Each structure stands twice: as C-alpha cells, then as structure tokens.
Chain A
Amino acid sequence: RKEVEQDPGPFNVPEGATVAFNCTYSNSASQSFFWYRQDCRKEPKLLMSVYSSGNEDGRFTAQLNRASQYISLLIRDSKLSDSATYLCVVNRRGGYGNKLVFGAGTILRVKS
C-alpha cells in the first residue's frame, strides 16, 4: 500500500464547476500536510498548506482530518488555468530528518 494515496482521475469538469479531491495517508507520524500543483513536465509548486482547522485561499479550500488520516482539496468556480495535476504531500520524520512524501497526483482537466 502506498503511503499517500490519491484517486488519479482524470477529473473532467466544465468551467465554473466545483471539484473535490481526496487523499489518505497511512503514516500516523506525519506532521504537516500540503497540496502542490504540478503542470505537465514542470516542477511541483506549493498550492497551500493544510491545517486541521481547515483553511481557505481564494477559490481553494483544504481540510485535514487527523483521526481519519484524510486530506481534501475543494476548488470552486474552476478556471481553465486550474488544469493540472494536484499532489497530496505529507511531511513526516524520516531516518535523517523530515521528508516529504508525495502522492501520485490527481489530474484535473477544466474544459470550456
């Protein structure tokens, strides 16, 4: 079983739609949580951190449930430019300090 699991998609949605991604992680020692965005053949870029209290950044809302080891990302009013792969990432203590563990990503395609 992968340490961070995501539905690979793709999610094909029209502009203006609301879409939600889910992620689960298996290591209870995970300390912090993030969503990254990766465009085709590019490096990942931090979208937002995820907190237990839930946090919002414009059209994006992230939520963490530590008890269920579950992370979510909600995108409202989808734009064409939101098309990308969304990576669920956890930061946990490894053998030599903290390390980021990446999910394989969920593909989002927003169409006009």
Chain B
Amino acid sequence: GAVVSQHPSRVICKSGTSVKIECRSLDFQATTMFWYRQFPKQSLMLMATSNEGSKATYEQGVEKDKFLINHASLTLSTLTVTSAHPEDSSFYICSVRRHPNEQFFGPGTRLTVL
C-alpha cells in the first residue's frame, strides 16, 4: 500500500493566491521529509528538506519566504506556495526516507497558476 500521501492531487488557482500542499507519511514517523519540484521534461529538483520541529533547510536558489514549509508532526509536512505566479506551475512531489537507501515518494500535486 501507499507509504506517502499528498493532497490535493491537482490544483488550479489564480495568480497571486497562496496554495497549501499536504504530505503525509502513512506507515512510519518521519523526522525528515523532502519537497521536490519537476517542470515538464526536466528532472526532479530538490527544493527543501523538512525537519520535524525545526526550520526547513532550503536548496540554493529556492526562496524560503515564497515556499513556506511546516513540519508540525512526525507524519505531516506542508508546503505553501505564497503569492503563486504562472512560473510556479509545476509538479510538486514530497518524499520520506525510511532508511538511507529507501525513499518513498508521494503521488505528487500538479499546480497550475493562471
């Protein structure tokens, strides 16, 4: 069965609005979750590492004030895209790592900003 769930699976919003995406670890408690973004025909790019109970760590070039991450519990991390613009339209995927070499991905959230 699924290890990671994401909600919503798809969202269409107007430019300037904020969108929250939830990522849940279903099978185990995850102190660390990862947020990726994938543009069409491109590779998954790590945006940030979400740490339970502390601040997320962001990859170079990712604006922390635009992509707000909250990891309030061991099973839930949220990514909020603030003041979304059309260039933020992408496939956002979260993942959890159970072991160093075992990482599970959520089904992804397709964001379209009009």
Q: Is A52 in contact with chain B by the CB < 8 A criterion?
A: no
Main secondary structure of the interface of A (DSSP, over half): strand
Main secondary structure of the interface of B (DSSP, over half): strand
Q: A102 is contacted by which of B44, B91, B107, B110 (Cβ under 8 Å)?
A: B44
Q: A32 is contacted by which of B42, B45, B101, B110 (Cβ under 8 Å)?
A: B101
Task: Report which residue of B43, B93, B103 has the largest number of chain A beta carbons within 10 angstroms of its beta carbon.
Answer: B43
- Contacts of B77-114 to chain A: CB distance below 8 A: 91, 93, 100-103, 105-108, 110
B-contacting 9-mer, from A36-44, A53-61, A69-77: A36-44
Q: Is B57 in contact with chain A by the CB < 8 A criterion?
A: yes
Q: Is B13 in contact with chain A by the CB < 8 A criterion?
A: no
- Interface size of A as a range: 20 to 34
| Chain A residues positioned under 8 Å from B105 (CB to CB) | 43-45
Q: Is B75 in contact with chain A by the CB < 8 A criterion?
A: no
| Chain A residues positioned under 8 Å from B107 (CB to CB) | 42-43
Q: Is B49 in contact with chain A by the CB < 8 A criterion?
A: yes
Q: A43 is contacted by which of B42, B57, B102, B106 (Cβ under 8 Å)?
A: B106
Closest 9 CB pairs of A and B: A43-B105, A102-B43, A104-B43, A102-B44, A96-B57, A43-B108, A43-B107, A43-B93, A32-B101
- Asked if B43 contacts A87 (CB within 8 A), the reply is yes
